[in-house]
Each structure stands twice: as C-alpha cells, then as structure tokens.
Amino acid sequence: TQLLEQSPQFLSIQEGENLTVYCNSSSVFSSLQWYRQEPGEGPVLLVTVVTGGEVKKLKRLTFQFGDARKDSSLHITAAQPGDTGLYLCAGQQGAQKLVFGQGTRLTINP
Amino acid sequence: KAGVTQTPRYLIKTRGQQVTLSCSPISGHRSVSWYQQTPGQGLQFLFEYFSETQRNKGNFPGRFSGRQFSNSRSEMNVSTLELGDSALYLCASSQGGGTYEQYFGPGTRLTVT
C-alpha cells in the first residue's frame, strides 16, 4: 500500500498548456516537499510546504498544501519542454523520515 | 558549496557478490540517507545515519547495511547480491532537523547479472 498516491502517473501535453499534479494521502504530514528528477540525476528539491493551506509560487509553478496537511498539488502554467521530468512528492513523518510518492512522469512536447 | 557526490556512478556485479557504494555529503550536513529507486517500486528508504549512528531504517533485508564516518561520509554495503537489487541507489544529505529537506547525489546505477 502506497502511503502517498500521486496522480496522474504519466502526463504528456503540448508546450503552453497548463497542468496539475496531485499528491494524496490519508495520513497527516508535518511538511511536504516536491522534487523534480531528470534522467541520470538525483531528485532536486523544488519547494517545502509546512502550513495547512499554504501556497508557494516558483515562477510558473504553484504548490499548495491541503488544509488538513494530507494532500498537495503542483500546478504548472504555460508548460515548457524544460519542465519535462519526474515529479516526486514526499511527506515528512516524525522528526526524520520522508515518505515518497511513486512520482508523475511529465513530458512537454514542443 | 559542493553538492553530494557518489561513487562509483555505474557498477556491474554478478549475483552472489557484494558491493560497497560511497557518498560524500554537503559540507556541514550531518545526516545521510540512502534510497533505492526502481521503476516498479519508486523511491524506497533504506536507512539514515546521523553523527555516525543509524537513526532510521526502512524495510530492507539485513543484506543491506551502512555506516557513517566521523567526517559524515557514508558507505552502503549490499552482500550476496540478487538480480532484484539492480537499481539506482541514491544518497541524500540533510542538516538533520527541521523540515528535513534532502539534497540528493546523482546516484549509483547498480546492475546485477
């Protein structure tokens, strides 16, 4: 059983379109992080959200933490080919443990 | 600051052999975590070391072990390799507290034949 469910698992869209990736759980997390991983590399931290209802923006990327701190979403506006990659959400449980979702593999076609 | 480094980047081993992977964390980071990444299972937590002590452990068999040295560098060892151990092994360092943000290395791609 996956503690953190990400959807969709795969997404292929055209450049310029908008998209949203979801990260859901029945568990409460003290914080939630989003990472992006490109082929042959390790994941790179994009953002950390801590407070329920928190919204953070990183250029064209908008991250939201659910009010109950059980879910999160990542919205990309006007997607570009450089946004292609594997997006991973990770929830923090306890003081020093992260649980990762299965990831969303995003492809942006020129 | 230099990022997390892992050596080697690629490794091919035969079933039954053992392997040791190395990780150097970001300077000043005292926590090192190891993860296994496969297409089917995603990113799975192996263990975490903080100040030379294993602080957390995932659900992997005893064939997987690790250690951390006084300079925070860490090694991971897998004994009696199985075909299913083929994976990308990622090391991540962290300051060790707070929101526990992980800074990953590029990984070691292990292939067991």
**Strand, helix or coil at A83?**
helix
Answer positive or negative: Cα dihedral of B39, B42, B46, B50. Answer: positive
Percent of all residues in chain A with a pLDDT value above 70, rounded to a whole number: 96
**B92 in contact with A at a CB cutoff of 8 Å?**
yes
What's the average model confidence in pLDDT over A9-22? 97
Q: Best mutation site among A9, A46, A98, A99 for testing chain B: the one with the most B CBs within 10 Å?
A: A98
Compute the count of residue pairs across chains A and B with CB atoms less than 8 Å apart: 61
What's the average model confidence in pLDDT over A10-18? 97
The alpha-carbon gap from B43 to the nearest alpha carbon of chain A, in Å, equals 6
Closest CA to B4 of B89, B70, B67, B93: B93
**B66 in contact with A at a CB cutoff of 8 Å?**
no
Are residues B68 and B32 in contact, defined by beta-carbon separation less than 8 angstroms? Answer: yes
**B97 in contact with A at a CB cutoff of 8 Å?**
yes
Does the distance separating the beta carbons of B99 and A48 come in below 8 Å? yes
Q: pLDDT per residue over A63-106, tens digit each?
A: 999 999 999 999 999 999 999 999 999 998 776 678 899 999 99
What's the average model confidence in pLDDT over B53-81? 95
Percent of all residues in chain A with a pLDDT value above 90, rounded to a whole number: 87
Does the distance separating the beta carbons of B43 and A42 come in below 8 Å? no
Locate the DSSP E strands across chain A: 5-7, 10-14, 19-24, 31-37, 44-49, 55-58, 61-65, 71-76, 85-93, 97-100, 104-109
**B111 in contact with A at a CB cutoff of 8 Å?**
no
